[in-house]
Amino acid sequence: MSASNITKRAISEELELLLGESLSVLDHGFIRVIDYMGNDAAIVQAARVSYGAGTKSISEDAGLINYLMMNAHTSPFEMCEIKVHVKLPIFVARQWIRHRAASVNEVSGRYSVLSKEFYLPNLVQLCYQSSHNKQGKGAELSPEQKACVLDMLRTDAEQVFAHYTTLLALQNTEQREQLTESGLTRELARINLPLSTYTEWYWKIDLHNLLHFLSLRASPHAQYEIRAYAEILFDIVKRWVPLTHAAFVNYRLEGGRFSKMALEVIRRLLAGVSVTQETSGLSKREWENLCRLLQIKI
């Protein structure tokens, strides 16, 4: 490390190697880590502040982080923050922005001319709407239907972008001003652009809220496109705070929460009592979720 890069702050060596590197997502998107604050040791230090103790051994640190995660003590995780530069389709951004506990600054089509970049889905993602899940996919379209849909999406986007370019190039033929004006205002020229258009933003969030984001968006139930970004962020977290990442997977991502009624069903099952959905007191959805978590067929 050169003298100019020496720092006294807590760093993550693995994440340092990733700073500024563009990690590709979808067809034109990316995630770049711009900056971060803290590491696993910073979480431990914050949790131990009451005792005036600093970082101890890795095993002790891991045990404390596991305890914090298991018991939902969230404030120590808020001591770590990360800032990323993200390029993503607008429809993904609208899902993403629902996570409000973050600072966001997005490129503005009022001031900048937007690039002709739009998202085209992978053929595997072209499916029928699920008949039982309002937010899910059903069977895949036929190869002929997929080709037709993809051609339609591409043609529509290219036409709208062509119109966008035309609107930006309109000439002021009356020349009433000393300087010749041209182009419809950018704030209006952009309004017909499709949701597949790529936008960019800087997104800064603390680790606790980032883990909440990942618990929802890295889930198999999340839409594929935002899940693709979440999976990149999930790997970034692993490199940044490996002890926290392991605890998150163990207690949150691959763990489970049980209601009082679900725990009673588990106790009855352990006692050898036969239980059905009808006798469990659980709704159909709760019953199916319990069976999934326990990996059993009842």
Which residues are known catalytic residues?
217
Which tokens sit at 180? 């010749």
Q: Are 40 and 243 in contact (CB under 8 A)?
A: yes
- Residue 144: how many CB atoms within 10 A of its CB? 8
Distance CA 74, CA 72 (A): 6
Q: Are 44 and 53 in contact (CB under 8 A)?
A: no
β-strand pairing of 137-140 with 127-129: antiparallel
First to last CA, the chain: 59
Dihedral sign, CA of 36, 37, 43, 44? positive
Which of 112, 115, 119 lies closest to 91, judged by CA? 119
